[in-house]
Amino acid sequence: MKQSFKLAAAMTAFVSAGPALAADCGTSDGISIVELNWPSGAFLAQMHKIILSEGYGCDVSLVPGDTASSTASMSARGEPNINPELWVDNVRDFWDKVTESGTVYEAGKPFAQGGREGFYIPTYVAEANPELKSFEDLAEYAELFGDPSDPSKGVIYNCQPGWSCEVLVGNMYRAFGLEEEFNLFSPGSSAALEATIERSYRREQPIVTYYWEPTPLLGKFPMVSLEMPDYVEGNCNNDENCENPAKSGFPPGNVITAVTSDVKEEAPEAAAYLDAASIDNSIINEVLAWGEENNATAEETAIHFLQENLDVWKAWVPDETAEKIQSGL
């Protein structure tokens, strides 16, 4: 009798201790962040997770994904709550729809100078060919960027299937009349594209490829962006079925932190932090390059950033929160 009483008391204490341990920052079922599958996206996701969980006590979970899967999920189910690196111009339809219905809003800009997309050539190629300055000039250099499996033409490397840049680059390739001189090759995955670029770089061979910033690859293998005309508003380059692709540059790299509105309503302090979080491109490049050199995981890269750049992130959070985060590192 006494035994079972003690047992019941112990269990009650255990059970009642439960909710106290799971104290969160206001949201009803925790905050989910999509851990994007490229270096800068993964780093931002991990950084938000550390700050929100250590500083604000939120119950944060990371969901692996990419732009396509996370935007589909956000618009259909309102989850994940945060996309730390959304290139808005690439998902115009989704963005217009969710901002109109008010389910998702733009919290802040993770990159202070925005993102950049372009066609890149290695610096050693740019130095050896000073006349090759713009994307239009490329037509005369088909021989330099020869396709190993089709020596009669050059080759331009596209981004991975499923990314909106794939359609964009395909349309630009047509619009700038490069179909006769060049093949457009899809490497199949970002890993294969990076391996291809690394291979060309190690053997000092010419290569022209789509790429974007900020990325650790551009930190490791310096490349020069080919000049492109200004962005033409209202073009259909993003559309697979575009009949008349425009000779336009890439859309301005409007990269935002996309957050579902329930976070703003239920956890206003966390939302205020997300509005403020913004890092200089040069610092991001440095941090990503560090991660690449040291074979660090995204989490280790985020911890490194928080340890080395106190003045940057302390500006985003109130002082006591900063203390909590620092002690948790």
How far is the C-alpha of 184 from the C-alpha of 187, rounded, in Å? 10
For the segment 281-300, give every residue that binds other proteins (CB under 8 A): 295
215 binds other proteins (CB under 8 A): no
Q: 228, 205, 216: which is closest to 147 by C-alpha?
A: 205
Asked if 2 touches other proteins (CB under 8 A), the answer is no
From 101, 133, 161, 177, residue interacting with other proteins (rule: CB under 8 A): 161
Q: In the bound complex, what is the minimum distance in angstroms from residue 38's beta carbon to other proteins? A: 13
> Rounded CA gap, 154 and 181, in Å?
6
Asked whether position 124 contacts other proteins by CB under 8 A, the answer is no
**187 lies in the binding site for other proteins (CB under 8 A):** yes
Q: Which of 5, 14, 131, 202 binds other proteins (CB under 8 A)?
A: 202
Given 9, 192, 276, 315, the residue binding other proteins (CB under 8 A):
192
Instruction: Provide the Cα torsion 183, 36, 112, 47; round to 10°.
Output: -150
User: In the set 191, 232, 310, 315, which binds other proteins (CB under 8 A)?
Assistant: 191
The Cα–Cα gap between 287 and 305 comes to 6
Site residues (CB under 8 A) for other proteins, limited to 306-325: none
For residues 131 to 160, the per-residue mask of contacts with other proteins, x marking binding by CB under 8 A and - elsewhere, is -----------------xx----------x
d(CA 317, CA 119): 37
Binding status of residue 61 toward other proteins by CB under 8 A: no
DSSP, collapsed to helix, strand or coil, labels residue 291 as helix
Is the Cβ–Cβ distance between 87 and 94 less than 8 Å?
no
Q: Between residues 102 and 148, which has the closer beta carbon with respect to other proteins? A: 148
Token duo for residue 151: 């020596």
**What are the b/e assignments for 76-98, b being 16+ CB within 10 Å?**
eeebbbbbbbbbbbbbeebbeeb
Of 99, 129, 196, 261, the one binding other proteins (CB under 8 A) is 196
Q: Identify the three-state secondary structure at position 157.
A: strand
Residue 17 binding other proteins, by CB under 8 A: no
Chain-centroid distance, C-alpha 65: 11
Write the CB contacts of 155 (distance below 8 Å, at least 6 apart in sequence). Answer: 145, 146, 147, 148, 182, 183, 184, 185, 208
- Judged by beta carbon, residue 27 or residue 75, the one nearer other proteins is 75
Burial class from Cβ neighbours inside 10 Å (0-12, 13-18, 19+) for residue 317 reads: buried
From 111, 135, 163, 273, residue interacting with other proteins (rule: CB under 8 A): 163
Does position 179 bind other proteins by CB under 8 A?
A: no
Does position 188 bind other proteins by CB under 8 A? yes
Do β-strands 60-65 and 31-36 pair in parallel, antiparallel, or remain unpaired? parallel
Contact between 198 and other proteins by CB under 8 A: the answer reads: yes
Phi, psi for 91 (deg, rounded to 5): -130, 45
Q: Which stretch binds other proteins (CB under 8 A): 5-13, 61-69, 113-121, 308-316?
A: 61-69
Single out the segment in contact with other proteins by CB under 8 A; choices: 15-23, 66-74, 85-93, 284-292. Answer: 66-74
16 binds other proteins (CB under 8 A): no
185 counts as binding other proteins under rule CB under 8 A: yes
Q: How far is the CB of 72 from other proteins (least distance, A)?
A: 6
Cα separation, 132 vs 135, in Å, equals 8
Q: State in angstroms the smallest separation of the CB of 192 from other proteins.
A: 4
User: Could you list the residues that contact other proteins (CB under 8 A)?
Assistant: 66, 68-69, 72, 148-149, 160-163, 166, 185-189, 191-193, 195-196, 198-199, 202-203, 295
